[in-house]
């Protein structure tokens, strides 16, 4: 942890020319932040849904969650970026019952990378979709 004013920081990613640091305000609050310094490009990823290129939507939440993350990775790869470039993720869940599975799969996908995160329980545009993921990445 690195002190920064009244905040503890953890350096997260080593993206050439960019330093991404998790901010952990003190006294401890629920939320954290992600500070990207040296970034020259920002990628805003619109909501990625659990639908593949053929229009197929898996039935289970776990499969939908993994597919939505695969779609996020697809946008990142198109911009020649990776998961380590993510600074902010917003996940929209259709029901509270998916909170634990969402967290488990997110940790599987992101590994030790911890971008700023918001999870919102809400209605989703298509009733077949159990979640939607939007994100911001820097390079």
Q: Report how far residue 132's alpha carbon sits from residue 71's, in angstroms, rounded to the nearest whole number.
A: 10
Domains and CATH numbers, the chain: 41-138 (3.30.1330.40)
pLDDT, residue 38, reads 72
Give the phi and the psi of residue 130 in degrees, each rounded to 5.
Answer: -95, -10
How is residue 139 annotated by DSSP? -
Secondary structure (DSSP) of 27-93: TT-S--EEEEES---EEEEEEE-S--TT----SSHHHHHHHHHHHHHHHHHHTT--GGGEEEEEEEE
Long-range contacts of 54-61 (CB under 8 A, 24+ apart): 57/126, 57/128, 57/129, 61/98, 61/101, 61/102, 61/130, 61/131
pTM for the whole structure: 0.79
pLDDT, residue 6, reads 44
pLDDT, residue 39, reads 63
Q: Which among 70, 130, 56, 123 has a CA at the least distance from the CA of 98? A: 130
- Give me the tens of pLDDT residue by residue for the chain, a chain 139 residues long: 444 444 444 555 556 677 766 666 555 555 566 666 776 788 889 999 999 999 999 999 999 999 999 999 999 999 999 999 999 999 999 999 999 999 999 999 999 899 999 999 999 999 999 999 999 999 8
């Amino acid at each position: 942890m690195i002190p920064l004013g009244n905040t503890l920081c953890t350096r997260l990613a080593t993206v050439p020319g960019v330093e991404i640091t998790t901010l952990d305000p003190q006294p401890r609050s629920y939320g954290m932040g992600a500070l990207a310094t040296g970034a020259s490009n920002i990628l805003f990823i619109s909501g990625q849904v659990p639908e593949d290129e053929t229009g197929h939507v898996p039935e289970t939440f776990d499969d939908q969650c993994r597919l939505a993350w695969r779609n996020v990775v697809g946008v990142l790869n198109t911009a020649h970026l990776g998961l380590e470039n993510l600074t902010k993720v917003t996940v929209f869940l259709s029901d509270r019952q998916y909170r634990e599975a969402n967290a488990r799969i997110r940790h599987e996908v992101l590994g030790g990378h911890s971008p700023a995160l918001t999870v919102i329980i809400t209605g989703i545009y298509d009733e077949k979709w159990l979640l939607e993921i939007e994100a911001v990445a820097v390079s």
